[in-house]
Structure 1
Amino acid sequence: MDTAYAAHPRGPRVPVWLSAPFSGRTWREFLYLFLSLPMSVLMFVYAITVISLGAGLLVTFLGIPVLAGGLAGSRALGGLERARARALLGLDVADPEPARASKPGLMGWVGAVLKSGVSWRHLVYSVLHMPWAVFSFVFSVTFWSVGWALLAYPLWRWTFLAYLDQPGIQMWGDGRGNGIYLDTPADIGFTSGLGLLLVLAGPWVIHGLTQVDRVMVHGLLGPSSLATRVSQLESDRGVVVDTAAADLRRIERDLHDGAQARLAALAMDLGLAKEKLAEDPEAAARMVDEAHGEVKIALQELRDLARGIHPAILTDRGLGPALSALSARCTVPVTVTVDLDHRPAAAIEGIAYFTASELLQNVSRHARATSATLDVWRTADRLMVLVADNGGGGAHTGSGTGLAGLAERLDAVDGLLIVDSPVGGPTSITAELPWRG
């Protein structure tokens, strides 16, 4: 082995519980809790001022736009909180949907802000976060500073002798110079050991406190679950529309380049045969015989095209026979196992069929395999399709690959594509679909 490229042996790793007090994550989370107090005070004062001013002016026309402007300001402060959580907690919360006015102008914007649940959730965060921020600030700063102070007690105990004329920390005193002090070696060791325990426990305490902040930021300052679902459905709808358009273009191309072109040539041949029928019957008969063969080829192309749209065997007999017929056309021997008590919804059944078809085509074209298996079963409310082969592996869902498009189509119906294909093989690709029977 070339020693220039040999890996250097690693030394013993420091346990997590021992390195946590010095980790960047711990200090970032502590800084977040430390900054939460001034931020929460600012947001709380702003929220109370906005509510009071807006409510007080509601008897006039000014109250409504003032309240709307205050809510908009709360949304801006919420953006700062999301940025702070992103930078210090690593919490990436998407920005909520902006307030969309149903009509142009100032009053349209005011109405949109007042009707937006996101705006009111930001205002609620400004009010609710204040008491929690005060508690987490006091608790974390006290716990963290006391721990480090006790741990370093042997280093700063001399200040008691130099400035307070006492041997150490006083645990009890009667006011007349009598008391109990932490001044013996055992007391000093116990104090420092207690500080060590607090320092070691500090990262987990701080992390636990920030978990509450994570929940509040995610739940009150992020997009609502309904808005997220609507956005996802809009994206899925776009994928479905694009897929349908691509399928239509494929069908049009196959008809134009295949059966349509063949039928056009057939019509020309039959026209020539008709012209030759009187003067050269034998040549006309040969041309009709050739046209007959062309008709058979055109019919087969149309059957293949129809099978690509939706095979009749799938409609009539279900996934089991349809997948068996499909695997028979694969260039690699395929073992098919279908374990279904009854048929799923027709749309899901069709997606499962074409998913298996595309995966088996990949096996034929790219896998360099000698055998493959196709298993279909139901688990809970999911339809599972597993295609495995003993080929060279290396399949992935990277951008531009056929598997990437297949994953997008499955995602459009709340499905999932899981690829396990290490270089060298074997490959196992699982498609999960909702049952919807």
Structure 2
Amino acid sequence: MTTNTETPLVASQPGALSTTFVTSWKAPIAFGIFTVIALALAALAPRAGETIYRWSRETDVIQVPDLVVPVMTALWLVVIVLAVMTLYSVLLVRSERRVPLWLIVLFAIAFMFGFLTWAGAGADLPMIGLLYGSLSLAVPLIFGSLAGVIGERAGVVNIAIEGQLLAGAFTAAVVASITGNPWPGLVAAMVAGMLVGMVLAVFSIKYYVDQIIVGVVLNVLVIGLTSFFYSQVLAPNAATLNTPPRFERFAIPILGDIPIIGPVLFRHTIVVYIMYIAVALVYVGLFHTRWGLRLRAVGEHPQAADTVGINVNRTRFWNVTLAGAIAGLGGTFFTIGSGIAFNREMTAGAGFIALAAVIFGQWDPIKATLAALLFGFASNLQNTLSVIGSPVPSEFMLMLPYIVTIFAVAGFVGISRPPAADGKPYIKS
């Protein structure tokens, strides 16, 4: 789903100046597809009974009443609402107006409500668990997307996010296992990610090697090295080298007791709380500090930045290195953040989904974070539906996060313009 774009085309005529708008039909088309899907569920696969949305756990201080929804009544109402919004989007495009973001958000919420109601017929949907798990799965994606935003805002395409996450996960597991403390593992993970970022920066900035190629090679290199050390070193010595302690979960006082929000946002490990701080710092730093102004300048117009005295390549180098450290920190979620031993290729493509979140979020840290949360929700949805015995095929649910990723990078969520100098090496004339 996407907003339509309006590209003004100025046509000069004798004595007159006219403006024509080229509109995009992606939003109405996407709306129509999902409306047809909802209609097919209601007409071809009806399910009797009720779906119970549970908003509290037994241990919560304040209990929120359950929401009981009649399945078919709700689904047909959703179909009608989706059809109305689809028709409205068509009228907007025909009148050469944008499809507003609020309409897209409402459409997505309505469709997801209808789908969850249909899939959970006759069962209880543990919404706290669904949302809590979605946030947890989004943690490495958010760190990775922040790394991508910083790198690409500086003008360097960071395809190596996958390798940085994996290097961070590996190093955190080994160092934490040796020391018996997760904190040294967290620091080591940042250093590992930083080193991968430095290699990317050196080859792409100093030697002008194609940034996409360097990133892909680094991913393959890190996968190969970690797989080799896992099989040759970690597996035979798992007791001493691959039994990482985990960060303990703890609730933030008062905030952790807020209904719904508290259990979802404020009962996590320190890695999640660091993520909150990182998102805020990157956003404020990027748009409200001198550092952010310089960073965006070398990514948008390096020649102009050079003219006013900014060292373009040095600025790019250190920011790509910083991005690597942030991605390495995200890699800790897979091991010391979850108390899981390292396994080969355990990031499972999270770096590429994080890169899609960067594009989805239009190179903005807040929007990229929201995109990562969407991907985390899509990933956790398969777990929840399998637990409640949903009729949705497990194979489809496994594909869901990647389907969402494809829709995102294909432009169904809006047209994204990358920084003007993104991916272009700067050669000082």
TM-score by length of 1: 0.22
TM-score by length of 2: 0.22
Look at both structures and tell me which one has the larger radius of gyration over its CA atoms: 1
